[in-house]
Chain A
């Protein structure tokens, strides 16, 4: 019989800002924000920026003056850097225990039940200081018998500085867990969104402790199975297991906001082609093939006559071929395109993903395997060239590299860890003082 799980949630504090600060220690203690890929809105804030009242998702154009007045350092998103740092964190965590689930770019769950740990709080502090020292990223760690409680604990560990970044809520005997639960408003519980919180308030449930005391029947009536599991998880009974490592992703989504709204089909077609090429490269990187796709186009939702158009298509075989995918997507976009509309954003989604290894001749009898192999080899060469010499060295003709829609990333920091031409520079010195 296996032991009951013990979950640790490792959450990187203000992750994107922390990545920027790693190579810019002069920014420690200074307010910093990171903007989304089109410099559209704030996606990460330092504690100092939070204190100054900069909200999450603040539109950059509205806050430019405030950023300037308050001396807030701004960065365009540098996802190459964040991705590399995230992988470093994962590899440290995996060396602690292979029972690791990467929940998002900055959060991972670990199951500690197979490790012999006497003092979980001490373990958490050691893991935290190792990540800070070796990778250079501050984290908060919550430890608990369920994922929901571990998430709640990590939030308190982040907010309450007396905890030094670690909160252990394993023990239900002490009054501690109850105190933290009653200090957690319902709307901040993992899985309770803006929709459920008012519903709970109407029932007199304002915090996590009250929620954990709902009868499972009542929870089921209010929120369905999801709610019943939530109540169980808050009272220490695990309903959610660690997701198996390397579980296959279900979809690949890519989208881009145009630099300015456009009624030019060439601009849209070029964007779709480039998104398609990026998505196809992601497929190949992960050894996947897509069987279906969605294209959606929308106008600016803040302007009158908002339009949202969406078309789903079935690809005639599972594929990761850039040429085929982009052609299909572009054709779908052409069918959706309305010349009267001024488009603001284009999205593509690839789904029904299967592992490349699953493509067997007997399963897909109609596929010309020789043709498939030639296409694979051509694409592999394309990926090799692009990874060696930088994205877009080789691209399909329809991919437009003009500035109309390419993310504005004007304030991007160097690709410190992923591009030989952008390594951080350091001056040599005989003595540090001279």
Chain B
């Protein structure tokens, strides 16, 4: 055994002595926690998922705000109602797929928008 006592650094970088590892929280041999991980909910395919920061107020009536983070999956085939990241010669936009022009290229499909209601 290389560690009989676990030492972890918390978010402030302060060392916290957590005592003996709790077997209920530790996966066999891996030392990984079993607690829910938001990545499971938000990122189905890490290899094709990219995050973008949104700018502008055009979609506020749809609950999408300036400063939100969009989760984009490039592996998905867009449906007309999907929100997508599209590239065109004049620049890039995030909008509904059905409102694209035929020459616009879909870069990826939005699978989630993350909005923080309170800053720390």
Contact = CB atoms under 8 A, between A and B. Distances in A.
A and B: real partners?
A: yes
Contacts of B93: 426-429, 432
A424 B52 contact: yes
B51 interface: yes
A385 B15 CA distance: 11
Nearest to A94: B47
Interface string A384-412: 11001000001000000000000000000
Contacts of A388: 11, 13
A133 B56 contact: no
A423 B53 contact: yes
Contacts of A366: none
B74 to A, nearest CB: 5
Given A91-B46, A430-B58, A424 B53 contact: yes
B74 A426 contact: no
Interface string A80-118: 000000001101100100000000000000000000000
Contacts, number: 110
Contacts of A430: 58-59, 95, 99
A59 interface: no
B45 A134 contact: yes
Chain B's interface size range is 35 or more
B31 to A, nearest CB: 12
A354 to B, nearest CB: 14
A431 B95 contact: yes
Contact of B69 (A136, A356, A394, A423): A423
B22 interface: no
A416 B93 CA distance: 17
Nearest to A374: B7
Interface string B62-98: 0010100110001100000000011111011111000
Nearest to B6: A377
Nearest to B105: A25
B3 to A, nearest CB: 8
Interface string B22-55: 0000000000000000000000011110111111
A357 B58 CA distance: 55
Nearest to A92: B47
A417 B50 contact: yes
Interface of B: 2-3, 7, 9, 11, 13, 15, 45-48, 50-59, 64, 66, 69-70, 74-75, 85-89, 91-95, 99-101, 104-105, 107
Interface of A: 25-26, 88-89, 91-92, 95, 133-136, 356-357, 359, 373, 377, 380-381, 384-385, 388, 394, 416-417, 423-433
Q: Would you list the 5 A-B pairs with minimal beta carbon distance, nearest first?
A: A134-B48, A429-B93, A381-B9, A385-B13, A88-B47
Given A135-B74, A426-B94, 16 more contacts: A25-B87, A26-B89, A91-B46, A95-B47, A135-B48, A359-B2, A424-B52, A425-B54, A425-B55, A426-B54, A426-B85, A427-B55, A427-B93, A428-B56, A429-B59, A430-B59
8 contacts: A25-B87, A89-B47, A133-B75, A381-B7, A381-B15, A388-B13, A417-B51, A426-B52
